[in-house]
Structure 1
Amino acid sequence: MLQTLYVIAHTFFKICRLELGPQDLPSSRAFLLLVTATYMCISTIIPIIFEIPILKAILQTFVEVGITFFLTFSLLYMTGFYARTLQTLTAIMGIDVFFHLIAIPILILELYFKSAGIDIGLTQILAILLVSWNLTIYAHILRHALSTEFFVGFVITFIYLLVTIIILQTLFPTPLPEVITQ
């Protein structure tokens, strides 16, 4: 069991290092369901850390996963790569698990710094680096899924990001920080 978990984690880590692609994952609905459930559990924890009500956090997570599944399925179906849907979604959900696990300590550190009145910008820099790396890996995954160039994968990743932000902000508006509204 532990060896299996190691192999799975190592495969996702290699995807994060751009060494493997979604085609290197098993095409399995059960595996996709397991990875998605793991992602949803971890993704729900992050808003709760920031004292967002649990029901809202769960709903946001379901909407986010729904958007990702819809966009990925639609893209692969329209381009004739429907057979790659399971592996592509598994790769996306798996790397999101990886990045959320890295993000949680950064977010906790940010809360600690805020409570101590410290603002050195470290957590913001780490967050920017993490998001940049995440977008690069999304582009890498989509490039492989569509058998295209990295630039095309990056453009599609940027569109994914914009669509997701617009929908989430429409359904779950986030108030602007006081500094911006004054």
Structure 2
Amino acid sequence: MSTSVQAALLQVTLDIALMGSVLYWALLLYRRPERFEQTFSALTGSGTLITLLALPLIYWSVHKATLNDMTLPLLLMLGLVIWSIAIIAHIVRHAFDTPLWLGSLYAFVYTIMSWTLTSWFTTPQTG
């Protein structure tokens, strides 16, 4: 198995573990643990669909785009990230019965936590 495939599998595994554990403990804190399965399924399903939409853009930006031609794939990726945060916010706000702004804050914080955690474990070390 190539290192890029191993890194991708590690990222997915870390993201699912982080999502599941944060969601479980947050739902316990909000006294709604019975919503875990439905919320976790919604988050993983929507995350899978967003990832499938991102794959052609990632391929385009890595293999096809020149330095001068990176604007469109990067803008489209930014749009997908914003859309992903909006989807997470919508799901989380219903799971926790909170206002949309609070769901958006939770979604944004979770996204930053996920990126940080996966970059710690999957960024190649130099030196």
Q: Pick the TM interval, shorter chain.
A: 0.7 to 0.9
2:10–2:122: 8 Å Cα contact kept in structure 1?
no
Give the structure with higher Rg (CA).
1
1:68 aligns with 2:24: no
Instruction: Give how far 1:119 is off.
Output: 1.6
Instruction: Give how far 1:162 is off.
Output: 2.0
Pick the structure with more helix per residue. 2
Instruction: List aligned pairs for 1:86-101, cutoff 5 A.
Output: 86-101=37-52
1:158 aligns with 2:111: no
What is the one-letter code of the residue matched to 1:91? A
1:123-180: CA deviation from partner (whole Å, max 9, x where unpaired): 01100111101100100000000011000101111121122122222222268xxxxx
What is the one-letter code of the residue matched to 1:112? K
Residues in 2 aligned to 1:125 and 1:155: alpha-carbon distance in whole angstroms: 22
1:80 aligns with 2:27: no
1:130 aligns with 2:70: no
Q: How many residues align?
A: 124
Q: Report the CA distance shift for 1:92/1:170 in structure 2 as closer, same or farther (over 3 A).
A: same
Q: Secondary structure at the match of 2:123?
A: coil
Scaled by the length of structure 1, what TM-score is found?
A: 0.62
What is the one-letter code of the residue matched to 1:59? L
Instruction: List aligned pairs for 1:30-49, cutoff 5 A.
Output: none
Residues in 2 aligned to 1:82 and 1:94: alpha-carbon distance in whole angstroms: 19
Stretches of structure 1 that go unaligned for 5 or more consecutive residues are: 1-47, 176-182
Residues in 2 aligned to 1:146 and 1:113: alpha-carbon distance in whole angstroms: 42
1:144 aligns with 2:94: yes
User: Relative contact order (C-alpha < 8 Å, sep 6+): which is higher?
Assistant: 2
Q: Which structure 1 residue ranges, 4+ long, deviate > 6 Å from structure 2? A: none
Scaled by the length of structure 2, what TM-score is found?
A: 0.87
Quote the sequence identity (%).
23
Stretches of structure 2 that go unaligned for 5 or more consecutive residues are: none
1:54 aligns with 2:5: yes
Moved more, 60-69 or 160-169: 160-169
What is the one-letter code of the residue matched to 1:128? L
RMSD: 2.0
